[in-house]
Amino acid sequence: MPLAVYILGLSVFALGTSEFMLSGLLPPIADDMNVSIPRAGLLISAFAIGMVIGAPLLAVATLRLPRRTTLISLISVFGLGQVAGALAPTYEVLFASRVVSAFACAGFWAVGAAVAIAMVPVNSRARAMAVMIGGLSIANVLGVPLGAFLGENFGWRSAFWAVGAASAVALVGVTTLIPRIPLPEQKPRLKQEMSIYRDHQVWLSIVVTALAAGGVFCAFSYLAPLLTDVAGLDSGWVPTVLALFGIGALVGTTIGGRVADAHLFGVLMSGIAASTVFLAALALFASNQMAAVGLSFLLGLSAFYTAPALNARMFNVAGAAPTLAGATTTAAFNLGNTGGPWLGGTVIDADFGFAATAWAGAAMTVLALVAVVISLRLQRSRGSSSLLVTGAPAAASPEPGAAQACASSTTA
């Protein structure tokens, strides 16, 4: 694995910490800004909305720009967004800073994923994505709990300053260690890249990714008040439990990244099914402290076990447009990260309680499983049609980003 891929993963650590750290900071932000916890939760959705819009827009805008220069510019804007958040005098300014940071984060993800995919052979692409996603896992192990600790002891603004400092370190790494990536001799054409959206499998991948991510983060976004108000844990335990979620995420990413190249649909179905079971269990046993803590770890494991396969699947079906494939995956994940917290906040506002967010999340993951089954049946149907027409199995696709064997029906 090239060193540059690990540098991208290190940069994603800063991005991921900013995206997820609000899960441990909602109560102090709500108190300081004089808003309700569900309204403070909209700051998570604000970041996700920025990612949804920013990923495809910046992917298109930077399609013909040098990759390294683009990454440097985006991580710089992201860091400035963290500073703006730390200094925000009002909720509205903080909301705006989250959207700006999210735009830069989305662009970095889209371009960084395309760079990582371009630097490794076809049969290592799920692993390359696992390294980048590993940055998110480590953010959940270290960054998010540290953010919660800083918020508890030094005020929530200190967490934003810390992410700003981490962004500066990432900027140094990208500037000094990411090589110059030459643009292809034939420059990418927007019309050709946009053609991927004619494929039903691309849209199914978007649906699966959004629902799988949204289901987990519907509950995770409100994990801090669930742990304190429902399970009865002291607020000082929140960083520890968030760290357990992150450890589960790191373990899940490692396993999923190694298995997904050979068994993509198997990873998708088993991982999403496991998330459904764990969410339902959390809804049922949220008042039990041991169960709530253990299930937080398991949710991190199942969610991030699935993530490399979700990424690889999109690059497989949208291989003709690697830049837009990365942007589309980023947008899809953050559609879920937008819808999940919004649905969770709606459930809380309806007085169903914090534990009910897990039931809502489980409903989303069930729909994700249905979409995976439809995608697999369509995959098998296309393979059968090719066999009937040609008398031989379809040749393996050389699309960028595909796991080596994830396109055939045997991956289930």
pLDDT along the chain (412 residues), means of 10: 81 85 83 86 81 79 79 92 92 91 85 77 70 76 82 89 91 82 62 76 91 92 88 84 85 84 86 95 92 93 89 76 74 84 89 92 96 89 53 38 32 29
Q: What is the dihedral of CA 6, 12, 14, 16, to 10 degrees?
A: -140
Question: Which residues make Cβ contacts (< 8 Å) with residue 320, sequence separation at least 6?
Answer: 192, 193, 195, 196, 399
**The pLDDT value given to residue 148:** 82
Number of alpha carbons in the 13 Å side-chain half-sphere of residue 67: 23
Residue 112 sits at the vertex; the CA angle it makes with 250 and 101, to the nearest 5 degrees, is: 85
DSSP structure string for 158-169:
HHHHHHHHHHHH
Question: Which residues make Cβ contacts (< 8 Å) with residue 167, sequence separation at least 6?
Answer: 14, 75, 78, 79, 82
The span from the CA of 72 to the CA of 60, in Å, is: 17
The span from the CA of 311 to the CA of 206, in Å, is: 10
**The pLDDT value given to residue 400:** 35
According to DSSP H, which parts of 21-90 are helical?
26-33, 37-61, 67-87
Q: Is residue 270 part of a domain?
A: yes
- Structural domain containing residue 251: 3-179+192-411
Q: Are 312 and 403 in contact (CB under 8 A)?
A: yes
Q: How far is CA 313 from CA 96, 129, 184, 192, in A?
A: 33, 11, 24, 20
Q: Is residue 128 part of a domain?
A: yes
**The pLDDT value given to residue 322:** 65
The span from the CA of 227 to the CA of 340, in Å, is: 18
Largest CA distance in the chain: 68
The span from the CA of 276 to the CA of 269, in Å, is: 11
The span from the CA of 296 to the CA of 228, in Å, is: 14
The span from the CA of 373 to the CA of 376, in Å, is: 5
The span from the CA of 144 to the CA of 21, in Å, is: 4
The span from the CA of 370 to the CA of 372, in Å, is: 5
DSSP structure string for 366-405:
HHHHHHHHHHHHHHHHHHHHHHHHHSSPPPPP--TT--TT
Q: Is residue 186 part of a domain?
A: no
Q: Are 135 and 9 in contact (CB under 8 A)?
A: yes
Residue 378 sits at the vertex; the CA angle it makes with 375 and 379, to the nearest 5 degrees, is: 85
Q: Are 323 and 285 in contact (CB under 8 A)?
A: no
The span from the CA of 187 to the CA of 306, in Å, is: 33
Q: Is residue 109 part of a domain?
A: yes
**Residue appearing with tokens 């494939």:** 325
For the record, the structure tokens of 402 come out as 């595909």
**The pLDDT value given to residue 74:** 92
Q: Is residue 299 part of a domain?
A: yes
DSSP classification of residue 397: P
- CATH code assigned at 82: 1.20.1250.20
Domain count across the chain: 1
Q: Is residue 27 part of a domain?
A: yes
Minimal CA–CA distance to 201: which of 324, 335, 317? 317
For the record, the structure tokens of 240 come out as 């520890």
